Each structure stands twice: as C-alpha cells, then as structure tokens.
Amino acid sequence: MPVWLFYPSRQSTGSPAKVPLPTTDTKHALLFFVPGNPGFIDYYEPFLSTLRSLLDEVENKTRVYHGKDIRFHILGRNLLGFEDGDDGGGAYGPGPYDLDTQIRGVMDAVAAARIDLGKAGGARHGEPFDEVVLMGHSVGSYIALDVFRRHMQTKRNRTRVVSIKEPLGGTDHLNLRLGILLFATLMHLARSRRGQKLERILLTTPIVSGWADILAQAALWWLFPAWVLSLIVQYVLWFPPHAAAVTLRFLSSRGGVRQALYLGRNELQRIGPDEWEDELWEAVGDVDDIDGEAEDDKKEAEDPQRKFIILFGENDHWVANDVRDEFIARRNAHKKNRAHIVLDERGWPHDFCIRHGEEVAETVKIWIADLADTL
C-alpha cells in the first residue's frame, strides 16, 4: 500500500481539451497534508480525493473569471514508522519515532517536493512550488505549525548572522503561505477527555506505562488473528470500507500499534502549555529587517491575509473546551493576529476522516478559493 498519496492538478496535462497546458507563467501551489495519529494517509483518501475535485472547480473559475492560471497539487504521506519498513529512507535512524522526528520528516518532505507534471513533463516540471499550504489534522496540525515555526526561526537566525540574500540551507525556496489546522491539538493534550485516559495508561500506571506499546503490539499479534481483527473492524466499529481496510492493515502490521502508542506517549509529554511565539501568528512575509518595526507595522496594515485557519470541534474529546477557549482568547487579543479560528457547530467528530471527509473538504475548498483570489 502507498506511503504517499499524490493528487496533481488535473488541469496540469491540459485535460480536458479546453484546459490549456501550464506555461512558464503558471503558478503552482502545493497543499501538503499531515495526518494525525495513527499516521496513515489512506484514512484521508475520501477527503483528499473530494478536495481534489473541488479544487479543479477553483482552478477553472480562477482562470475564467480572473485570468490567472493557478494549479493546486495535493501531496501527503504517512507519518514515519507506521507502514512496515518505512524508516524515511534511513535518514532518521531506527523507529519507533517521536514527535520531533516526525516534524523533521515532514519538513524534509515539504522541502523536497517539486512540481510534477507527469511523464510528459512541461514548463517548470521539477521546479519548486510557488506557494505552499500546510494542512494537518490532530497532531498533524501541531506538526504543521511547528514546521512554520522552524522555518521562521531559520530565516530569523540567518538574518542575524549573514545577509538576507544568503541561501537558507535546504528550505530557502519554501514560501509557506497558509496553514490549515483541522481539529487542532496545540496545547495541553493531557487535559482532554481522551488524553486523560491515555495518560493513565501510558504515563502513570506502574510497570504497564513503560511497556504499553510493546505489550499492545504483542497482544494483537498473538491473541487476535487477522480474521478476528477483520470482524471487529467491520461489525463492531462499523467503519466504512476505506477506513476498515486501513485499520486492519494498521492492527495487523508488525510495528504500527507500537509506533502509535510510542508517539502518543510523546505527544502527551510534549503538547502542553502554549509555546507558540506571537510572531508566528503574524502576517506572512520574509524577515527583512529584525529592527525595522515601523516597516513591519506598515506591512501588517497592507497585508490582512490569513496566515492560519484553525478548525476546532464544538465538543472534541481530544481538545479540552477550556484549553480551546483560552487559546482562542489569547489569539484574539494579539493585535497582529492573522489566525482565523472556526468553531464547528455541525457536530463533526475529531476523526472526521472516517465518515465526514467529503463534508470537511467542502469547507476547506472555500478557504483555498479565498487564497486563490490573492495569488
């Protein structure tokens, strides 16, 4: 099964016939999706495939009504260690992998992504993307946000040492334009209802806490044959076909459950008090002058564009309501805040990708269409 899912712009090859082939003036935007835990990208196939179709409509309308040729490409991959044998090409050592390693893996994958126009190639095939949208779900939202922070810090540190014209290592070409954080777990994960239960098992229960990931994997292997797991997934959980297939693969893998619990333990330890700098939430733009506050204020006034869109559930079992409300109040109090926060009132669950992927894609499409108007 694929570790990666790639949905290029269906307009990139000029099909249907009325759609022109991309030119050197075509703007290519990457939407890189980061899954939650368990980190299987295939859980999101209905969501991402629906979003792909909706973005075809956005591309067509943008070209017809605004005269701009913009192509969106969707790319995502499993988190490291969930697929048997996936060690990120050996660059991150042996698994299981903690949150910091997952963040480095995503940042490397985003930096390595290039415009893919298929076998036929074409203008700008293989070049870096013009714009990058990072979209994450659950802990994937934390990962996406931390990629933004690390990229910001790299640029800021570079300007303090050398000229801004110097290259920024392997990420100098990245234009991180927008972050879309779905059912975001950004603070105090252990204070959520599910987090409290998981903490008792993984962190506070004597003996079991240190071996929970290994014991759980062993129990699945030795006590539950594949046919039993299949019955549980299909007739107890009542998962739709795509989610049932991925879940069965996850539970039957050699190390998937261990990786999920190992990462979950690290999430509980890592995702605590609000650690995000105010600067991170401010308007998109390069760090041109560390001391140029007046110039920065001018840019803020002229650039009201959103930098982050955060979707919270109304009653999310992985996000405590008081933690969510505290986070929203803090962001709204920041005068240069460029985070647009949405509180869902439709009852979408935290694990929207199981049964509500198509509905959430409709909402995300609206946000991407708004972005397209500014490109």
- Domain segments of the chain: what residues? 4-187+275-372
Cα 190 from Cα 198, distance rounded (Å) = 8
C-beta separation of 34 from 344 below 8 A? no
Top pLDDT among 11 and 270 is at: 270
The label of the residue with tokens 């795509």 reads 242
pLDDT digits (tens, 9 = 90+) for 280-295: 998 655 444 444 444 5
265-283 burial, b at 16+ Cβ within 10 Å, e below that, comes to bbbbebbeeeebeeebbbb
What pTM did the predictor assign? 0.88
Q: Which is more confident, 164 or 4?
A: 4
The conformation of residue 304, written as its DSSP 8-state character, comes to -
Q: Check whether 254 has a pLDDT greater than 90.
A: no
| Chain segment 87-106, per-residue pLDDT in tens | 888 899 998 999 999 999 99
- Taking the CA atoms of 171, 175, 181 and 185 in sequence, report the sign of the dihedral they define: positive
Residue 3 banded pLDDT, cuts 50, 70, 90: confident
**Can you give the pLDDT at residue 271?**
97
Contact by Cβ (8 Å): 264, 202: yes
- Mean pLDDT of the chain, nearest integer: 84
Does 3.30.1120.130 match the CATH number of domain 4-187+275-372?
Answer: no
Predicted local confidence at residue 168, as pLDDT: 42
| pLDDT over threshold 70, residue 40 | yes
Binned at pLDDT 50, 70 and 90, residue 156 comes out as confident
CA-based torsion, 43, 362, 177, 130: positive or negative:
positive
302, pLDDT greater than 50: no
Note the pLDDT tens digit of each residue in 45-86: 999 999 999 999 999 999 988 899 999 999 999 999 999 889
Q: In what order do the strands lie in the sheet with 131-137?
A: 4-7, 70-77, 27-34, 131-137, 176-182, 308-312, 339-343
> Which amino acid appears at position 47 of this protein?
F
pLDDT at 165: 43
Query: What sign does the dihedral 55-356-234-43 (CA atoms) show?
Result: positive
Distance (Å, rounded) from C-alpha 14 to C-alpha 255? Answer: 42
> In this structure, what is the dihedral angle of CA atoms 74, 79, 85, 87, given to the nearest 10 degrees?
100
Q: Which amino acid is at 204?
A: T
State residue 295's pLDDT score. Answer: 52
pLDDT for 204? 63
Q: What is the mean pLDDT of residues 339-348?
A: 95
Cα–Cα distance, 214 to 111 (Å, whole number): 33
Q: What is the pLDDT of residue 354?
A: 94
What average pLDDT does range 123-140 have in this prediction?
Answer: 96
Contact assessment for residue 282 and residue 288, using Cβ atoms and an 8 Å cutoff: no
| Angstrom distance (rounded) from CA 33 to CA 35 | 6
Average pLDDT over residues 23-40: 96
Percentage of the chain exceeding pLDDT 70? 79
Q: Above 50 in pLDDT, residue 164?
A: no
Which residues, 6+ apart, have CB-to-CB distance to 256 below 8 Å?
A: 38, 82, 83, 84, 217, 249, 250
91: which residues sit within 8 A by CB, 6+ positions away?
A: 108
pLDDT computed for residue 183 by the predictor: 98
